[in-house]
């Protein structure tokens, strides 16, 4: 096999590099041998190296894969999708365009980005400085650790022939911690870990955010800061939950951002025997969604099926399927997550919008606003045959902070009837709650007024007291049982601690698994999807996401369970809809003929009844299981 100098001199890039492992090594050996003895050939080879990065990759670059021992030092032989990626990123750097790369794991994307940066950096023409970043410093540079970006750069750099390295380059002088300097041009590749001022100390031709979906807490600020440091921000990542800055970029519609996607099915080895799963994984939702149904495309192959046997569902979603919903560590996983995927496909279409007049304590119907924040989205208006509960999550109302939420829940249909969210303080929120409650009752504080559950940890206590001052009487008070003395006390609203938070989560999980009603709000669905377990086991919103809607929804569900209802109205609706109490809870319906009870007595009686129902259900369940086992 001869290396043809005419091919290297062909301006149309007519060269052809062999792609077989041994053939390529032999070809490289002959190329280097000839370049060592033929100065003209060496100049032509360097010219082509600097002109065409794909030639540079296949003729000179290397990659490391310990899984292939003893052949772990691999010549970088690009696949078709990698050639496409190299061209796309070359264009992004040269034209100055932000780029987002969604990927399955083990597709070689990080290696391509790093070595393309190194290709620009090594060119004798100069003018290219880069910044490479990761979520922690140990992934950026750590001597001897091949996982780090700079060790990968060093690995490739020191395998290049000396005539391709920058003139005057000295390992001890120009190779430093988190920095490689080209002494010939002054170009530098610098490293930095995740922080809110990321990249602000320099100006760059390109900035790389590796595994950007896992950058916690400061991902949005880091991305925004880099906007002034470079015209070309490159964010690459596998999914890690349906939230965060990377998710927003990947799912957004910004026209100035180039979006690339590399799925495992594009890999020539992994895709051998590729076929489509049929029927679609979500085919069971076809009858529910009707004209809104869209079949989910699911690809498989022998390689993929083998991986599925050894991985969890979350691993498959994150590392293989580019599935944001199933990736990460969601609280509502399994069947609950399947339901959330179903709800995600349902259109968010409020029937009415209201502007809240806080001072005048009234609501004014308006057309659809440009931004939903601060307006009441109504999915179903008040129906005199129905009863409602309201969940309220309170915040301090600081700029850039969390959102206060007011969620109206239809206790009959189990649908979300209305939603309001805003960065409003606890005093203003009380007035919003009063207006929303009045919208869902025939008269203020009437017999059909919704029960209002207010989260009273922190500033919520002030909201509760303000609501009392506004004359509201149907404010939910949570019962607190004294197991030792057998008594019960009452707490204003819903106080969130670890125990009560677990109750909220359990209630939401049951609702989702059984798909009891319509969530309607896409924002609420999104928050439920990004409600995750941290490494310490705490349930909270994923970094850069919110969980205020989750809390208000959970409170509304608990109020529905614990707060008494207008039994006359409930009985009438059940008769009309052919629904009995037995259908609802497995117990016969009996109207209470006793004397009128106080608010606290009504809450307590209802809570005790619900607890009794649960215990009886559990006994029935275990009795049925025991009977089945005995019959066998």
Please list the helix, strand and coil fractions of the chain in percent, rounded to the nearest 5, in that order.
40, 15, 40
* CB atoms closer than 10 angstroms to residue 581: 15
Higher local confidence (pLDDT), 227 or 484: 227
Could you give phi then psi for residue 176, rounded to 5 degrees? -120, 175
Peptide bond into 70 cis (omega under 30): yes
DSSP designation for 160: S
More confident of the two residues 252 and 83? 83
Determine the Cα–Cα distance for residues 623 and 628; give it in Å rounded to an integer.
9
- DSSP state letters, 89-121: HHHHHHHT--EEEEE-SSSSHHHHHHHHHHHHH
Distances in Å between the Cα of 274 and the Cα atoms of 103, 267, 268, 436, 480 are 18, 11, 10, 54, 58
Torsions phi, psi for 34 (to 5 deg): -70, -40
Q: What pLDDT, on a 0 to 100 scale, did the predictor assign at position 617? A: 47
Distance CA 612, CA 593 (A): 20
Cis peptide before 479 (omega within 30 of 0): no
Q: What are the residues whose beta carbons fall under 8 Å from the beta carbon of 468, sequence distance 6 or more?
A: 475
pLDDT mean over 217-245: 89
pLDDT at 584 over 50: no
* Helical packing angle, 460-469 and 426-439, nearest 10°: 50
pTM above 0.85, yes or no: no
CB atoms within 10 A of CB 569: 16
Residue 626 has pLDDT above 60, yes or no: no
Q: How confident is the model at residue 599 (pLDDT cuts 50, 70, 90)?
A: low
The tokens for 600 are 């606290």
Strand, coil or helix: 73: strand
The DSSP-derived string for 8-72 is: HT-TT-------SHHHHHHHHHHHHHHHHH-HHHHHHHHHHHHH-HHHHHHHH-EEE-GGGTTS-
- CA angle, 471 as apex, 595 and 564 as ends, to 5°? 35
Burial class (CB in 10 A: 0-12, 13-18, 19+), 361: middle
Residues 49-62 pLDDT 10s? 999 999 999 999 99
- Does the pLDDT at position 211 exceed 90? yes
- Asked if 511 and 343 touch (Cβ cutoff 8 Å), the reply is no
Which of the 8 DSSP states describes residue 213? G
- Can you tell me the distance from the alpha carbon of 337 to that of 145, in angstroms, rounded to the nearest whole number? 37
Phi and psi at 381, nearest 5°, equal -75, 180
Q: pLDDT band at residue 606, thresholds of 50, 70 and 90?
A: low
CA torsion, ordered 558, 559, 563, 568, to nearest 10 deg: -110
Q: How far apart are CA 397 and CA 384, in angstroms?
A: 34
Structure tokens at 130: 């880069």
359 CB burial (10 A radius; 0-12, 13-18, 19+): exposed
Q: Are 384 and 447 in contact (CB under 8 A)?
A: no
Residue 475 has a CB neighbour count (10 Å cut-off) of 21
Q: What is the pLDDT of residues 495-511, one digit of tens each?
A: 888 888 998 999 999 99
Torsion 401-402-403-405 (CA) sign: negative
**Over the stretch 57-78, which tens digit does the pLDDT of each residue have?**
999 999 999 888 888 899 999 9
pLDDT interval class at 602 (50, 70, 90): low
CA distance 557 to 528: 14
> If you search the block for the tokens 């497995």, which residue do you land on?
586
pLDDT at residue 256, rounded to an integer: 82
Say whether pLDDT at 10 is over 70. Answer: no
- Does the pLDDT value for residue 587 go beyond 60? no
Lowest mean pLDDT among 170-184, 287-301, 310-324, 382-396: 287-301
pLDDT classification of 622: cutoffs 50, 70, 90: very low
Secondary structure letter of residue 162 according to DSSP? G
Specify whether the CB–CB gap between 494 and 476 falls below 8 A. Answer: yes
pLDDT, position 588 = 38
In percent, the amount of the chain with pLDDT more than 90 equals 51
**Greatest mean pLDDT range, 13-22, 368-377, 550-559:** 550-559
- Alpha carbon distance 65, 70 (integer Å): 10
Burial of 586 (0-12, 13-18, 19+ CB in 10 A): exposed
Give me the pLDDT at residue 621, please. 35
pLDDT at 481 > cutoff 80: no
Structure tokens given for 60: 């000179």
pLDDT (0 to 100) of residue 5? 47
How distant, in Å, are the alpha carbons of 108, 141, 147, 149, 192 from that of 137? 21, 7, 12, 10, 7
Which CATH topology does 352-584 take? Nucleotidyltransferase; domain 5 (3.30.420)
Q: Is pLDDT of 571 > 60?
A: no
On whether the CB atoms of residues 407 and 416 are closer than 8 A, the answer is: yes
What CATH class does 79-262 carry?
alpha beta
Which of 135-149, 284-298, 423-437, 523-537 has the least mean pLDDT? 284-298
Angstrom distances, CA of residue 95 to CA of 90, 132, 256, 315: 8, 19, 12, 36
Give the strand pairing for 352-357 and 362-366. Answer: antiparallel
| Cβ-proximal residues to 596 (8 Å cutoff; 6+ apart), any chain | none
Here the tokens at position 174 are: 């120009």
Q: Over the chain, what is the mean pLDDT? A: 84
Q: Determine contact, residues 107/262, Cβ cutoff 8 Å.
A: yes
- As a whole number of angstroms, the distance between CA 290 and CA 352 comes to 24
Q: What is the mean pLDDT of residues 370-397?
A: 90
162 pLDDT band, cuts 50/70/90, is very high
Segment 174-203, tens digit of pLDDT:
999 999 999 999 999 999 998 888 988 889
Mean local confidence (pLDDT), 99-125: 95
The ranges assigned to domains in the chain are 79-262, 264-327, 352-584, 592-632
pLDDT on residue 8 = 54
């Amino acid at each position: 096999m001869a290396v043809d100098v005419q091919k290297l001199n062909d301006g149309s890039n007519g060269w052809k590099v062999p792609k077989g492992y041994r053939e390529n090594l032999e070809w490289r050996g002959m190329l280097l041998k000839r370049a060592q003895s033929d100065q003209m050939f060496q100049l032509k080879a360097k010219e082509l190296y600097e002109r065409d990065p794909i030639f540079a990759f296949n003729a000179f670059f290397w990659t490391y894969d310990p899984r292939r021992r003893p052949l772990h030092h691999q010549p970088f032989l690009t696949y078709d999708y990698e050639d496409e990626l190299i061209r796309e990123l070359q264009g992004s750097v040269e034209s100055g365009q932000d780029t987002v790369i969604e990927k399955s794991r083990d597709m070689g994307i990080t290696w391509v980005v790093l070595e393309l940066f190194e290709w620009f950096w090594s060119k004798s023409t100069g003018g290219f400085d880069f910044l490479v970043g990761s979520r922690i410093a140990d992934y950026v540079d750590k001597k001897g650790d091949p996982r780090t970006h700079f060790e990968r750069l060093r690995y490739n750099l020191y395998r290049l022939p000396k005539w391709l390295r920058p003139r005057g380059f000295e390992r001890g002088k120009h190779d430093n911690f988190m920095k490689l300097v080209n002494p010939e041009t002054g170009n530098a590749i610098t490293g930095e870990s995740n922080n809110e001022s990321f990249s602000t100390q320099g100006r760059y031709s390109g900035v790389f955010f590796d595994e950007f979906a896992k950058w916690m807490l400061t991902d949005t600020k880091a991305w925004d800061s880099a906007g002034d440091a470079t015209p070309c921000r490159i964010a690459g990542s596998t999914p890690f939950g349906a939230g965060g800055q990377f998710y927003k970029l990947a799912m957004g519609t910004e026209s100035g951002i180039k979006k690339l996607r590399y799925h495992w099915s594009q890999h020539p080895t992994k895709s051998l025997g590729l076929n489509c799963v049929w029927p679609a994984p979500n085919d069971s939702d076809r009858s529910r969604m009707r004209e809104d149904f869209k079949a989910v495309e699911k690809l498989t192959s022998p390689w993929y099926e083998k991986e599925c046997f050894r991985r969890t569902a979350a691993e498959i979603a994150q590392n293989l399927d580019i599935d944001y919903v199933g990736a990460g560590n969601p609280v509502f996983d399994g069947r609950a997550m399947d339901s959330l995927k179903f709800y995600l496909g349902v259109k968010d279409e409020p029937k009415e919008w209201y502007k809240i007049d806080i001072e005048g304590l009234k609501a004014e119907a308006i057309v659809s606003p440009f931004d939903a924040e601060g307006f009441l989205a109504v999915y179903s208006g008040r129906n005199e045959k129905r009863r409602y509960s309201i969940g309220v999550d309170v915040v301090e109302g600081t700029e850039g902070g969390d959102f206060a939420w007011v969620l109206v829940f239809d206790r009959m249909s189990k649908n979300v009837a209305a939603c309001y969210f805003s960065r409003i303080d606890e005093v203003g929120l009380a007035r919003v709650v009063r207006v929303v409650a009045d919208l869902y009752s025939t008269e203020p504080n009437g017999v059909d007024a919704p029960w209002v559950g207010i989260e009273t940890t922190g500033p919520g206590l002030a909201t509760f007291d303000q609501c009392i001052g506004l004359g509201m009487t149907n404010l939910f008070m949570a019962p607190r049982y004294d197991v030792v003395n057998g008594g019960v006390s009452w707490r204003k609203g819903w106080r969130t601690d670890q125990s009560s938070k677990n109750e909220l989560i359990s209630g939401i999980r049951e609702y989702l698994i059984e798909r009891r009603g319509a969530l309607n709000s896409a924002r609420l669905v999104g928050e439920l999807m990004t409600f995750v377990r941290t490494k310490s086991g705490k349930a909270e919103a994923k970094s850069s996401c919110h969980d205020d809607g989750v809390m208000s929804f959970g409170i509304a569900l608990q109020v529905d369970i614990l707060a008494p209802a207008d039994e006359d109205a409930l009985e009438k609706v059940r008769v009309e809809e052919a629904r009995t109490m037995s259908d609802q809870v497995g117990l016969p319906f009996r109207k209470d003929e006793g004397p009128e009870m106080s608010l606290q007595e009504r809450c307590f009686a209802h809570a005790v009844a619900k607890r009794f129902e649960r215990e009886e259900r559990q006994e029935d369940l275990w009795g049925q299981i025991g009977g089945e086992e005995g019959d066998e």
